[in-house]
Amino acid sequence: MASTTASRPRQRRSDFVLSFILVCLIILTLYPFIFMIITSTKSASQFRHHYWEPVLPFHIRENYTDAWETIDRYLLNTIYVAAISVSVGLLTTSLSGYAFARFSFPGKQFFFSMIMLLMMIPGILQLIPNFMWCNQLGLLNTYWVLILPYIASAQAYNIYILRTFIASLPPGLFEAAKIDGASELQQYAKIAMPLSKGILGTLAILRFTAVWNDLIWPMIVTNDETHRTITVGLYYYRGGTHTQYGAMFAGYLIASIPLLLIFAVFMRQFMAGITSGAIKA
């Protein structure tokens, strides 16, 4: 009894130390985002003289107005490119994953092995060949030079994930649907896809984030403001107005809002996909 009583203070101290460490880690993790919000309210003079802490008066209206007028076209371009590339990419890869999981055809294992082999090739090694192809096809400085490579680059990983998940579904579901007269397309649309919502939501978030944050490819294939994406626009915005840190950080914050909204919409599917065990990275 005495040993149990004596162990309670030690347990409380251990819990306190652990909680303190976790709080510190959370603060360190969140502070860059907090710093971005604080800096987006400062003028250039306030930023130079009060680097870390918030300071009055806030310059919210002028900073965010300046940022929006600078990046609004880039933001809409990125939403357009990301929405098409992610939706079309998920459609094509879900069909391919379903075919690899449900059908038997000559060379099935060979083709799937080749798809897995593509996952071993770093994307940076494909940069020059992709650029040469797009240049010969006359796609530079168009939306297609962004959309088509983004769709293609998602194929291998998404097919692997979706094929693995669909293959794990009970075959009895598809057999029962087939007995009831359902075609393969109906089995795909009414059985495989509804049960794959968690995986599809996870892949949508991961791919949308990858497209949204990509800098290298949009920078080398677009050189006019008409087709620039948000990362390229913010990059040149920084170089052109390097002293307007408040407006620059306001632009960063505006650019992060769509990602937060996407995660909020697909959060349930994302967590379901992570916990389903289909993604084993």
Beta carbons of 215 and 232 less than 8 angstroms apart: yes
pLDDT at 123: 80
pLDDT at 77: 93
Question: Does the pLDDT at position 241 exceed 50?
Answer: no
User: Could you read off the pLDDT of 29-85 as tens digits, one per residue?
Assistant: 888 888 989 988 888 888 888 888 888 888 888 889 988 988 889 999 999 999 999
pLDDT at 270: 66
pLDDT at 196: 87
Beta carbons of 198 and 276 less than 8 angstroms apart: yes
User: Could you read off the pLDDT of 118-137 as tens digits, one per residue?
Assistant: 888 888 888 889 999 999 99
Give me the CATH topology for the region 60-275. MetI-like fold (1.10.3720)
Give the confidence band of 281 by pLDDT, cuts at 50, 70, 90: very low
pLDDT at 239: 56
Residue ranges covered by each domain of the chain: 2-39, 60-275
**Max Cα-Cα span within the chain:** 82
**DSSP state letter for 190:** I
pLDDT at 163: 92
pLDDT at 181: 86
Q: Which of 116, 88, 97 is nearest to 169 (CA)?
A: 97
Name the average pLDDT for the chain. Answer: 85
Q: Which two tokens stand for residue 185?
A: 């397309």
**DSSP state letter for 280:** -
User: Could you read off the pLDDT of 246-279 as tens digits, one per residue?
Assistant: 888 898 899 988 888 888 877 776 666 556 544 4
Q: Which of 243, 229, 93, 241 is nearest to 164 (CA)?
A: 93
**DSSP state letter for 58:** P
Q: Which two tokens stand for residue 57?
A: 């008066």
Please give the average per-residue pLDDT across 18-22, as a whole number.
90
Q: In the chain, what is the straight-line distance between the N-terminal and C-terminal CA atoms, in Å?
A: 47
User: Could you read off the pLDDT of 77-116 as tens digits, one per residue?
Assistant: 999 999 999 999 999 999 999 999 988 888 888 999 998 8
User: Could you read off the pLDDT of 183-239 as tens digits, one per residue?
Assistant: 888 999 998 998 888 888 889 888 999 999 999 999 999 888 888 899 988 887 665
